[in-house]
Amino acid sequence: LRILSQNLRKSQVTQLAMLNSEELNKYQILCIQEPYVNNWNNNTTSHANWEVIYPTERKRKPKDKYHSVIMVKKSLASDLWKEIKLEGSMDVTAIKIETDGETITILNVYNDCTNDDSL
C-alpha cells in the first residue's frame, strides 16, 4: 500500500499535473491538503481512476470550504476500504482499510498555521 500526501495550495494547475502524472501509478491512496475546489459546485478536480472522499462535515455544509480530501485508486477493491465518519471538521478526512486481518486507519489532516482547530 503506497500513500502520497501533498498540499496543493488550491492550485488547479498543480492538481491536474499531479493527477495526470505517470508517477502517480505507484500509489493507491492520495491525501491532499488544500485541493483545488471548483467555485460553481464546490467539488475538487479528480480523475476517472480515483474515488474522492470528502470530509464528513461537507454533507451538512455543502457550500463551506474544506481543506482535506482523500482519493482512493479505483483499482483498490471497494470492499477493502470505507470512509470513517468524523463530524465537526472540514479539515479532516479519514478512511480505514481492512486486509489480511489487519486494519489500517488513514487520517488526512489539514492544520492551518494560525490555529489548531483541526486537532
Q: How many CB atoms lie within 10 A of CB 45?
A: 15
Q: What is the pLDDT of residue 63?
A: 87
Q: Looking at residue 29, what is its pLDDT?
A: 98
Percent of residues in the chain assigned helix, strand, coil, to nearest 5:
15, 35, 50
Stated as kind and residue range, the H or E segment containing 15 is: helix 12-19
Mean pLDDT of the chain: 93
Q: Is the pLDDT of residue 18 over 70?
A: yes
Q: How many helices (H) and strands (E) does the chain have?
A: 1, 7
- Write out pLDDT tens, residues 40-82: 899 999 999 999 999 999 988 988 999 999 999 999 999 999 9
Q: Hey, CA dihedral for 77, 54, 22, 96, is it positive or negative? A: negative
Please report the pLDDT score of residue 62 as a whole number: 84
With cut-offs at 50, 70 and 90, classify the pLDDT of residue 112.
confident
Pairing of strands 3-7, 29-33: parallel
The C-alpha cell that represents 29 in the structure block: 491512496
